[in-house]
Amino acid sequence: MTEIDAYDILVLGGGKAGKTLAMDQAKAGKRVAVIEAGMIGGSCINIACIPTKALVRSAEVAETVRHAGSFGAKGGDVPVNMHRVAARTAEVVADMVDFNRRAFAASGFELVIGWGRFVAARVIEVQSAGGPRRLTGERIYLNLGTRAAIPPVAGLRDAGPLTHVEALKLDVLPAHLIVVGGGYVGLEMAQAFRRLGSAVTLIERGPRLAAREDDDVAAAIQDLFVADGIEVAMGEEIASVEGRSGDHIAAVLADGRRLSGSHLLVAAGREPMTRDIGLEIAGVDLDERGFIKADERLRTSAPGVWALGEVAGSPMFTHVSLDDYRVAKSGITGGDRTTKGRLIPSCLFIDPEFARIGLSEREAERSGQAYRVARLPVDVIPRARTLSKRVGLMKAVIAADSDKILGFTMLGAQAGEVLAVVQMAMLGGLPYTALRDGILAHPTMAEGLNMLFGSALSAHR
Ligand SMILES: Cc1cc2nc3c(=O)[nH]c(=O)nc-3n(C[C@H](O)[C@H](O)[C@H](O)COP(=O)(O)OP(=O)(O)OC[C@H]3O[C@@H](n4cnc5c(N)ncnc54)[C@H](O)[C@@H]3O)c2cc1C
Ligand SMILES: NC(=O)c1ccc[n+]([C@@H]2O[C@H](COP(=O)([O-])OP(=O)(O)OC[C@H]3O[C@@H](n4cnc5c(N)ncnc54)[C@H](O)[C@@H]3O)[C@@H](O)[C@H]2O)c1
């Protein structure tokens, strides 16, 4: 019989929520272990947010150099060294992994590297370098994450498509990249590779890019992509894929048209890492999509087992995974924090950025409440002119019967930073007039908020 090591806190999967909880609880004197398959620090720093934003930065520099002449500097269409781009991305990742590794060690939790699976209700077996080990915890937290879903399209899997993981390591520039999916991953990657110098075709089967956004916002993003020279194929179903990514590949559409390229990147959504790890033995129920069913305190159907981050069905952002840690910690310390009613910001790192907090106009309409809308083209903000970044819009949704801000959307330079200003106003319960009348520094992009909230509000419903 293999011995079972017992811990106060056992975390399976070291994502943002799990690693933060582990460090916190280890520092508080608990006996804590984290079982992690191999990505020290989880997907954000290894294969997701951080390397994509490093790639996006390389693309931004290439684009700036390309247009340097108009700013009076010497530039032009200089070739991009993808070997260096990939190396820089890897350096940024390595630094953060190292930082995490040291923080883990300093906190005092035990990091067990290996693939974990339940072998009994509260027992996880790990296949680690030193042979199999069994661990149990008074409290067990599952922070397993997701991976790129490969749609069941004939020939797609056999074509060896790239996902974000491989695309971030490419040290040759794809001559022509086909991107399947116009969500967050597809949009960031499509524009980055276009600006690095690839021809890019983006295929989205739905009616709009960034599916959850309002039509005018999605159309503005599409215009931006078309202006960048990206071929955008909307509302198209891929019937089959022929060839191999990295060589020659073609997406054959339902109407028989062929969209050909050299590489194909799949960015068509995510699937949870819940298969074949004995969750049924653990008594952890899944929903119809395979995500762990968790309540507002992130409790699963198994007593003493919680789920955190994407695998728990939480919105797929690192800052939400971090908040799941706060909810989990509150459960340990007797607090009452839950996942209900969270105000969750999002920022899409295209150029210019897209950001949203609270309700979109469509969501406000669906909610049935009376509301007003304010709109502003970014072009009228002085800072947008000094930056030569005049594309985009700001949009706010305000309650009709009070001055409460219900939502804010921006496509424009530094949208993620401007968003935080509105978010703080919303968190503080400030009326929209505070942003209309507050003295904001000139010339900043945030100054546009004075104009946005000072503009005529059109009433709805
Ligand atoms: C390309 C891309 C870009 C993104 N960019 C952003 C961004 O800019 N901003 C943002 O907020 N969000 C971004 N996201 C989303 C963000 O990465 C995730 O929401 C975030 O990392 C939270 O993940 P998590 O905590 O749920 O789990 P993860 O960080 O995915 O952690 C899960 C961990 O569990 C491990 N694991 C899984 N199964 C097992 C097992 N059986 N045994 C042992 N270990 C296991 C995995 O190795 C992994 O390390 C991006 C996602 C992608 C794909
Ligand atoms: N900046 C950020 O914060 C950031 C960046 C990347 C990812 N993320 C997170 O990761 C999540 C997942 O991103 P994602 O882009 O993989 O998924 P997504 O769900 O956001 O978008 C997937 C898109 O692919 C389309 N699609 C699916 N199957 C298709 C097919 N066969 N042909 C053509 N199109 C198809 C869908 O209609 C959808 O528009 C995001 O929702 C986001 O929460 C965040």
User: What superfamily in CATH does domain 157-268 come from?
Assistant: FAD/NAD(P)-binding domain (3.50.50.60)
Same fold: 4-147+271-333 with 352-458 = no
Active site residue 164: no
Residue 332 class from Cβ within 10 Å (0-12 exposed, 13-18 middle, 19+ buried)?
middle
Q: How confident is the model at residue 456 (pLDDT cuts 50, 70, 90)?
A: confident
Q: What is the per-residue pLDDT for 342?
A: 98
* 51 C-beta closer than 6 A to ligand 1: no
Instruction: Find out if CATH 3.20.20.10 is the number for domain 4-147+271-333.
Output: no
* 144 C-beta closer than 6 A to ligand 1: yes
The model's pLDDT over 404-444, given as tens digits with 9 standing for 90+, comes to: 999 999 999 999 999 999 999 999 999 999 999 999 999 99
Mean pLDDT of the region 268-286: 98
Report helix, strand or coil for 375. Answer: strand
Q: Are 442 and 451 in contact (CB under 8 A)?
A: no
- Which ranges constitute the DSSP H helices of 252-344? 279-282, 318-333
Ligand 2 centroid – CA 268 distance (Å): 5
Spot the catalytic one: 83, 164, 176, 442: 442
> How is the chain split into domains, by residue range?
4-147+271-333, 157-268, 352-458
Fold designation for 352-458: Enolase-like; domain 1 (3.30.390)
Q: Is 188 annotated as a binding residue?
A: yes
* 205 C-beta closer than 6 A to ligand 2: yes
Bridge partners for 179 per DSSP: 202, 265
Tokens of 71: 């700013």
Q: DSSP class of residue 154?
A: B
Report the complex ipTM.
0.98
Is the pLDDT assigned to residue 461 strictly greater than 70? no
Q: Which atom of ligand 1 is nearest to the CA of 43?
A: 29
Q: Which residue has the tokens 């992130």?
A: 298
Whole-model pTM?
A: 0.97
Q: Which residue has the tokens 């508080």?
A: 28
How many alpha carbons fall within 13 Å on the CB side of residue 100?
23
Q: Is 155 annotated as a binding residue?
A: no
For ligand 1, mutation pick of 20, 39, 44, 349 (most atoms within 8 Å of CB):
44
Ligand 2 centroid – CA 113 distance (Å): 29
CA-based torsion, 383, 384, 386, 387: positive or negative: positive
Q: Is 83 annotated as a binding residue?
A: no
* 35 C-beta closer than 6 A to ligand 1: yes
The model's pLDDT over 381-405, given as tens digits with 9 standing for 90+, comes to: 999 999 999 999 999 999 999 999 9
Is the pLDDT assigned to residue 458 strictly greater than 80? no
* 246 C-beta closer than 6 A to ligand 2: no
Provide the greatest CA pair distance for the chain: 74
Q: What is the per-residue pLDDT for 457?
A: 76
Q: How confident is the model at residue 131 (pLDDT cuts 50, 70, 90)?
A: confident
Mean pLDDT of the region 10-17: 98
